[in-house]
Amino acid sequence: MELSRCRMLMIAAVLLLPGALAIAAQGGQPTPEEATALVALKGRVSGMIVWESNRTGAWELYVMNADGTGARRLTSLATPGDPLAFNAYLRPRFSPDGRSILFAYGKAHAPVECWIADAATGEARKLTGGNPLNWLPDGSGFLLLRTKQIWRFDLGSGEATLALPLMIDTASDNASMVGYVAPDLSAGVFRFGKNEYIRLSDGTIAKTTGGCEPHLTADGRFMYWVQGPKDFRVWDTQTDEERQMLGTPAVEPYNYTYFPTVSADLRWLMYGASPSQHDHNTSDYEVYLQQLDDWQPVGAPVRLSFNTGTDRWPNLWLGNRRVGEGPYDVASNRQTNPPPAPVTVFSFRAEDADPDWGGDWGLWPQIEGCGGEAAWVAEDAEGGDGGSVRITYDIGADPRSFSMWFAPGRNLDLSAYDRFAIYARGDVPTFTLVVKDRTADPEGETDAGIADLVVTGVTGQWQRFELPFASFVPRVAGAALDWRAVNHVGVAMMAGCNAPSGTLQVDNLRALPAE
């Protein structure tokens, strides 16, 4: 029976001097809090997000699932460095069925055009001249502004016809004009010198505000806009009530907010936020999602993009379609997205400190009677601050094990990662790293969802070991670990696999991103 427990793969050390493979800091990485928020968002919102980014050097459309997964570049519109590439707002908007994306495009210094992209393939084409406003509710076409008049473009016929005779005197149809028209064509909002809410029956300007980037909700009832950075406002056209929708979000340093768009059900606000940089073409705006209830924020905003380019004008479509599977923005396209930051499981930064990703640590024998102690040592394996932990144990001949870290219910998504790294030394040659997910056996009554990897080659000197996720062996044959929901990682000593007694010192366990 002892042998069956030791089916786990033996892996030799990757012999690297401490610090030899230091992880370089990269721009645009999620903090542990941001990574946790991304995981927590899963299952709470269904749909797709499109936004525009200049991370390749030219403006392109990018898409991701509403929970931030599957992020990828959608279009190949421009040649980077092309001096004639479109350089104004694309303001992409999903069609009601989520299959197409309407956006502004063209050549720099030329009249703006209405373009459409396939939301799955990214294939894009020009439909007509003018500045696109918004989709018709039935998806049969869209409205656009051309020569200061509102036109209706019909996708079936490919023709644009004048929708209203009204000349919108104050509106500009230049490429950076921001506007939106109510579905019944009763009113529209436009930004020229100021934000204006205009009754389209007679051209009456019913409301003028400061700021910029005016929008209407999909039902046409609410106008919302940027009064200034850190100050989004909303106006109820029925009750004439104006109030703040979002002030300074509790996100540092990304609290300088622009580009608000609200989902059709009014429950989600998307926006771009930068670290106090204003320029809308060069600043490091990032895409954020904020839940709303009656126009007030619920919980903290979730950061969805991780790139030092300008990420702006996110648009959320709610529904059951997805852009595809894949990791977060950080790992989806290495040419334009930096990898995610390593996740530190524990660093033993201080005596009695909790593991870095939460939970608790100590020694938990699987059966009573094992002897063991864990002592914090003021010595970091990489020569940095903080310390490590020294485990002195005696498990005898019975298949007893010790696990030295546990974080119930964390369900951390490590799908963008492919290996652990850990430092170890000791007077025993091996130890076992144990990983458990939450999905296979939530009650923890069996070994389903647990996988092991025996690390060999431990010596008296600190060594860095790399442990590929693919090498972990499930305890229950055929039950692969779900790396999207990891809630337990532990260092274990198990009879039949590891020495029955000895001393082991470990430090700085991290999950590392796939290359």
Chain residues binding Ca ion by CB under 5 A are 284, 286, 307, 311, 347-348, 380, 386, 507-508
* Three-state SS at 322: coil
Determine whether 300 is exposed, middle or buried from the number of CB atoms within 10 Å of its CB (0-12, 13-18, 19+): middle
Taking the complex as a whole, the smallest distance from the CB of residue 349 to Ca ion amounts, in Å, to 6
Among candidates 405, 407, 401, 400, which has minimal Cα distance to 422? 405
- Residues sharing a CB contact under 8 Å with residue 479, sequence separation 6 or more, in sequence order: 440, 448, 449
Among candidates 420, 435, 433, which has minimal Cα distance to 485? 435
Q: Percentage helix, strand, coil, to 5, in the chain?
A: 5, 45, 50
Amino acid at 185: L
Residue closer to Ca ion (CB basis): 498 or 508 = 508
* Three-state SS at 62: strand
Quote the tokens at residue 460: 């008296």
Count the Cβ atoms, other than its own, within 10 Å of residue 299.
13
Exposure pattern of 471-484 as b/e (b: 16+ CB <10 Å)? ebbbbeeebebbbb
- Contact between 309 and 54 under an 8 Å Cβ cutoff? The reply is yes
Residue closer to Ca ion (CB basis): 336 or 366 = 336
Torsion of CA 262, 264, 265, 267, to 10 degrees: -20
